[in-house]
Structure 1
């Protein structure tokens, strides 16, 4: 009875929140329709040159977007323009003599098409001409904070409004405006994603109350493991066109995984048909220096073979004492039109992270007498020689072929390798408040590598049934991951001494012979399919499923802990989208959850696989052309046997955290987001998320994930040469229960927010200066890990960047 009342109260509160959040997320769409109309004439100055470059420059200046097949611009140039024009008149001037026209599709979006013949033009209704743009998912060069389409949920290229799940896209423009240099930076600013930084290199990501472990590169699935994530969370964002985040279960394409979110990192392509590029230099707080280069060019006369290279170098220190890091990145890709309708691409990237003074874990939160510690934000538990050094190599290839009648086949392959050599020191226990004594040191040196090979083959296209056109996709993928890590234990390490006088000068010990830490092989095979059925003029049903085979063989420390698992599982998927009018639609989706777990309980026994269901319903809105997208949805996730940290208990014979299987774990919540262009020159992204996650006994689970988050960032083009912007990130409190000096105690970080500012000034046609300020109000906060340790969040920081484009 009490449980029923509790549920009714929850849904009543959720309904109220849904109404309020929905009004915030969707109401601006109607107003933006008025704002985004073609306004009065303004002054524009666009240099003569390649037509595609001139159009992109004018669109960015006008605050609109433009689309069209790249082949339309081959060999064409523009005289440019200099004067006062309305948007439509400016496009007409730039396209004069090209045989092309720009068609206003509404919502600040224009489509470039071949100019119709006189006979064809006579049949067209004058100014009411509209055309359907080819769906493009690329965001680079659009100047937008959203994308017209995505394929991240079902593999079918659909608009965000047509996709029956919550999807956020962090575009290239947002990454540049907010100065988001790593994947961790990007996810820290993504709707509904919480980031908990364990130490200087490692972070965990969560959504809807559960860990995020599903990552994709260009849609090809891979896995993320926090124990060895010193490289993944620090991946440089320079080479990515966008980051697509699908919240909820995504087993249709990714296979086994948590029902939290899937992160799809989409690389930049070699699509330029004339030489273009940019160089940048940046300097920031704590001697942070960075340089980048990004060049693209055709490799033959007609542009049918194109190349691109990009690189980044960064040398930075930190507010954390005696920490420094050098990062190098190189990326190269070639794309070729092999035949009409056939495009192939190959590419490779290499990143090296070379830090010094790396923390392994955080600082103690209590003194031995039970009082809380209050260290300076520069506190470090690392010796100067500690280094979480990693290298990542990635090679990929894709072939796409248009079969005709709208059908397309695509084959992808990827190989990645992660290596690390990490001499580290872990500090445990709690120091005496007066003498600083009592800390224990565990020096270890981890050496190893992880390799993954993946392949994906899919076929998609339309078909006609019952007098209506529908779409279907079928595919199969395969992933093989092998990893082996060894540890060298310290020989006769020195005692820690007075931690209150710690300065990192602790001597590096001699290392023993390597002992196996972990070795595993994981194979996942999958066949999937989905059909998008047009049931009526305004109703579409997506049904599909995936049959997966998951095999894993893992050997733990010193060969003493063996885990072997093999399981086949079918995961169904269903989604329904109903158009309410030309702007709004309602949606619902359902899928099953399955994930093998590699956690052990306090007796050393392995936990059973996680199972459950994920459901979501909501509303979405989109202006024509996809320039502004809004969404609001409520979700429920039901899971059984979810691994949860078992307090201070360890796996017998190790220092590894023990887990227990939570029965009947449920997460219910709400997401809302608005992203895109509210008016010419005005970009915005705003979001809010809330969830409640409990087990069958109504006890909170995953308490290190904040229950509520809100994000806002916006930019405004004050004048043609000046853009200003700012934002705020807020999250509710989170906590962790552990055994403190006085028994079980709760560690809590209260709710907090951080404020950011940015400004970009156009020094010349090709040179811009940008200033970014993070944590403007210098908010103090900590991250908490499962060992009852903390790391301080970054204080106020400033970075200035000069960018030269050509």
Structure 2
């Protein structure tokens, strides 16, 4: 990753607060006893300096070495260092601390050092740039992987909101980044666990996180490196290859096409690195969980034009539910080729096979989920769901010069879903007084030939230029997405064999799979192509204003034919739409931004109960907020207010008839912050207050009018914090704790049943040992420490899923 250096005389000076904070950090290195003289003869000394802020690391090193460090604090602004651990000379120590920062050190006398900027020059002729700002961010590219040893909880930049290298402080939308270190400290192995750290997001634990709610609306918008990673049932996500998770709040149609309006989740995957890195982690936990992760990367050639990365994850576990379990394998090799100094291409392959057996939902009993033990399973031992997933992607980027570049992305995915299970009925058939509950049979991939083929192509041109006093970052692009789906299913049919009854108090298992005839099977072939053109201009204006504007044109089709029990003739729909977006940011001082934005959304296609296409869902959102970034970019926070309205929601206007007659709205305030408060003390927190999340239009019957949206609590939040001791005797010991709280939620849109609110407490402890060039980390996490019984998943049709009881997760990790 290359650092960008900008002339201070062309930009604004840092605020007095900003200069004071950085100046105080470096000033400690200037006040050294006059008797303390550095030994520059080559004698080595032992140092223990933690990774983190570069200014803090240099201050600690200079003080220990007896060095007077004379440098402009702005040179280290926003930069980080890997720290020091071992024996180094003064020369070696400075080189290690400054590695990769774009800075070099120069001795002016025996014990005084100054910093200089190295920019396209040899170290010997590097000039001191007293009027230069070193911007503490990197030019974003998916070809630039992060340092695996980066322990920061905050990120100053994100790709998902703009598809350009834009600081979050200059982005007029709410974006939350979950870095790799958070995933490590929490030992998150599912998307649902990771999304607990984001305000306004309510994950469904029973779906592995692929089915979640954002700003009051159900969501399936999971992207990977910017392309839609859509499967049929969204259980295919594994975090073994994920470097960080970026969550964009609100509509995202301007850059991503058809999507749900609550926002999207973008996985930024691990990239091949030029520096060798190898790790092996073995996890073991409650309910016989065993998981192995392997991560290996490095150059394949001496000139580093070729580099590779290989990630593997294997997991097997039982469940707190009787006879339920899971087994999965995930493999992700990739190769990066620097074709020349201006062109880079990366080829990636991913494969996963996930088998889930025995899991079953909890039915409604009165106005609550059925009061049965968490371990009770109302399915059958043979209940199974298997997701197979194969992805091939090729990403290429060519830089014409320092200002213009062209980016092409191709992606192919194939999903195959096989399932067969008895499931409890929904809100229309709750538990009877005697405990009996109706179940229905559902199965898919009856002949073993089902598939979902997804094709994605995108071409984008990014350029930077000036017009008068305005600086532009222009993005122009087009994308094409096509999904071809074949399904063979059985369920909700006329055959009585597809239904039975189980008693929730005294369940009897042993019912075999029902006898199914060819007439019970529905075979459907569906094609969903869409094409989009988009343009976005980000303009930097005087007085620290940043303006964004963009448009997207989408042309989408729906083409479906079905045979069998639910046969229908060819159904075809063609829709197009122009979606705008605009926003403005005022950053009066580097530590503070005020922003506002307006965005429209083009949503998914609908069909009514007869399978006839309905108008696509649309939405618009107003958002305003405040952002802050402190401590050299090590801490970032956002407070946002949003008003989001969704139209053309499918509503049953009378029995057997569905129309796109509904309209729903959510409004609320969200708070997110993360980063380092003090050396060794990291925190990530989220809170959402959503007082209004209701149906405001409901066709002709007004059945749901004014009622609260499904799974949209008024209050929800989380707090997670860790502290790594800084004293020599305890330096590599880390302790952490967190809490997650969710208020009462409606089950379905009719407000006849609710899931009570809950709060869970989580703990962690880890110890690091350095053995030669290797690092060994032992870690223990305890989730739901107080063993709270709570509803972890809610589905709009009624059934829910209990969250996990007290769970232990241990791990041993070796890195070198």
Give the TM-score band, short-chain normalised. 0.7 to 0.9
Q: Is the 8 A contact 2:780 2:811 kept in 1?
A: yes
Q: Secondary structure at the match of 1:184?
A: helix
The equivalent of 1:761 in structure 2 is: 767
The equivalent of 1:480 in structure 2 is: 482
The equivalent of 1:442 in structure 2 is: 441
The equivalent of 1:351 in structure 2 is: 352
Cα separation, partners in 2 of 1:639 and 1:129, compared to 1, 3 Å: closer
147, 154, 158: which one aligns with 2:155 = 147
Q: Secondary structure at the match of 1:382?
A: coil
Q: Is the 8 A contact 2:279 2:813 kept in 1?
A: yes
Cα separation, partners in 2 of 1:161 and 1:483, compared to 1, 3 Å: same
717, 720, 741: which one aligns with 1:730 = 741
Give the CA deviation at 1:327: 0.7
Cα separation, partners in 2 of 1:150 and 1:445, compared to 1, 3 Å: closer
Q: Does 1:792 align with 2:802?
A: yes
The equivalent of 1:243 in structure 2 is: 245
The equivalent of 2:505 in structure 1 is: 500
Q: Deviations over 1:134-191 (max 9, x none)?
A: 3347554321122221221122210111111000111111111111112222223323
In 2, Cα distance between equivalents of 1:695 and 1:616:
20
Q: Is the 8 A contact 1:416 1:451 kept in 2?
A: yes
Cα separation, partners in 2 of 1:212 and 1:34, compared to 1, 3 Å: farther
The equivalent of 1:568 in structure 2 is: 576
The equivalent of 2:517 in structure 1 is: 512
Q: Deviations over 1:559-612 (max 9, x none)?
A: 2276422112111111111112121111111122222431425x7765432233
The equivalent of 1:135 in structure 2 is: 139
Q: Secondary structure at the match of 2:51?
A: helix
The equivalent of 2:567 in structure 1 is: 559
In 1, Cα distance between equivalents of 2:544 and 2:149:
33
**Comparing 439-448 and 202-211, the one that deviates more:** 439-448
The equivalent of 2:534 in structure 1 is: 528
The equivalent of 1:313 in structure 2 is: 314
48, 59, 78: which one aligns with 2:51 = 59
The equivalent of 2:94 in structure 1 is: 92
Q: Is the 8 A contact 1:717 1:724 kept in 2?
A: yes
1:358-507 equivalence runs, <5 A: 358-359=359-360, 362-366=361-365, 373-428=370-425, 429-434=429-434, 436-437=435-436, 439-442=438-441, 444-447=443-446, 448-488=450-490, 492=497, 495-496=500-501, 498-502=503-507, 504-507=509-512
Cα separation, partners in 2 of 1:491 and 1:711, compared to 1, 3 Å: same
Cα separation, partners in 2 of 1:338 and 1:573, compared to 1, 3 Å: same
Give the CA deviation at 1:92: 0.7
- Please report the TM-score for the alignment, with normalisation by the length of structure 2: 0.81
In 2, Cα distance between equivalents of 1:426 and 1:608:
31
Q: Is the 8 A contact 1:491 1:511 kept in 2?
A: no
How many residue pairs get matched?
723
Give the CA deviation at 1:700: 2.9
Q: Secondary structure at the match of 1:764?
A: strand
In 2, Cα distance between equivalents of 1:725 and 1:38:
31
In 2, Cα distance between equivalents of 1:113 and 1:123:
9
211, 217, 225: which one aligns with 2:224 = 217
597, 614, 618: which one aligns with 2:605 = 597
Cα separation, partners in 2 of 1:457 and 1:122, compared to 1, 3 Å: closer
The equivalent of 2:7 in structure 1 is: none
Give the CA deviation at 1:317: 0.3
Give the CA deviation at 1:737: 5.8
The equivalent of 1:187 in structure 2 is: 195
Q: Secondary structure at the match of 1:177?
A: helix
Q: Is the 8 A contact 2:413 2:455 kept in 1?
A: yes
In 1, Cα distance between equivalents of 2:739 and 2:336:
39
In 1, Cα distance between equivalents of 2:515 and 2:679:
63
The equivalent of 1:293 in structure 2 is: 294
Q: Is the 8 A contact 1:222 1:479 kept in 2?
A: no
The equivalent of 2:714 in structure 1 is: 707
The equivalent of 1:70 in structure 2 is: none
Q: Is the 8 A contact 2:644 2:666 kept in 1?
A: yes
Q: Deviations over 1:611-658 (max 9, x none)?
A: 332111111112375321111111112333223578xx8757xxxxx6
In 2, Cα distance between equivalents of 1:264 and 1:493:
39
Q: Is the 8 A contact 2:440 2:500 kept in 1?
A: yes
The equivalent of 1:612 in structure 2 is: 619
1:610-689 equivalence runs, <5 A: 610-623=617-630, 625-643=632-650, 651=656, 661-663=661-663, 665-689=664-688
Cα separation, partners in 2 of 1:297 and 1:589, compared to 1, 3 Å: same
Q: CA RMSD in A?
A: 3.7
In 2, Cα distance between equivalents of 1:801 and 1:294:
15
Q: Secondary structure at the match of 1:253?
A: helix
In 2, Cα distance between equivalents of 1:39 and 1:504:
71
In 2, Cα distance between equivalents of 1:372 and 1:81:
54
Give the CA deviation at 1:120: 5.4
In 2, Cα distance between equivalents of 1:474 and 1:243:
25
Q: Secondary structure at the match of 1:727?
A: strand
The equivalent of 1:264 in structure 2 is: 266
In 2, Cα distance between equivalents of 1:97 and 1:529:
38
- Please report the TM-score for the alignment, with normalisation by the length of structure 1: 0.82
Give the CA deviation at 1:772: 0.8
In 2, Cα distance between equivalents of 1:784 and 1:98:
47
Q: Is the 8 A contact 1:632 1:671 kept in 2?
A: yes
In 2, Cα distance between equivalents of 1:97 and 1:487:
58
Q: Is the 8 A contact 1:759 1:771 kept in 2?
A: yes
The equivalent of 2:75 in structure 1 is: none
Q: Does 1:752 align with 2:758?
A: yes
In 2, Cα distance between equivalents of 1:746 and 1:622:
44
In 2, Cα distance between equivalents of 1:676 and 1:371:
39
Give the CA deviation at 1:445: 4.3
Cα separation, partners in 2 of 1:604 and 1:239, compared to 1, 3 Å: closer
Give the CA deviation at 1:542: 1.0
Cα separation, partners in 2 of 1:265 and 1:98, compared to 1, 3 Å: closer
In 1, Cα distance between equivalents of 2:220 and 2:99:
52
Give the CA deviation at 1:441: 4.0
**Comparing 758-767 and 796-805, the one that deviates more:** 758-767
Cα separation, partners in 2 of 1:287 and 1:539, compared to 1, 3 Å: same
Give the CA deviation at 1:747: 1.2
Q: Is the 8 A contact 2:117 2:128 kept in 1?
A: no
Give the CA deviation at 1:123: 4.8
Q: Is the 8 A contact 2:177 2:245 kept in 1?
A: yes
* Structure 2: gaps spanning 5 or more residues: 1-16, 32-45, 59-81, 107-114, 698-704
Give the CA deviation at 1:770: 0.7
In 2, Cα distance between equivalents of 1:687 and 1:111:
39
**Comparing 687-696 and 281-290, the one that deviates more:** 687-696
Q: Secondary structure at the match of 1:626?
A: coil
Q: Is the 8 A contact 1:343 1:399 kept in 2?
A: yes
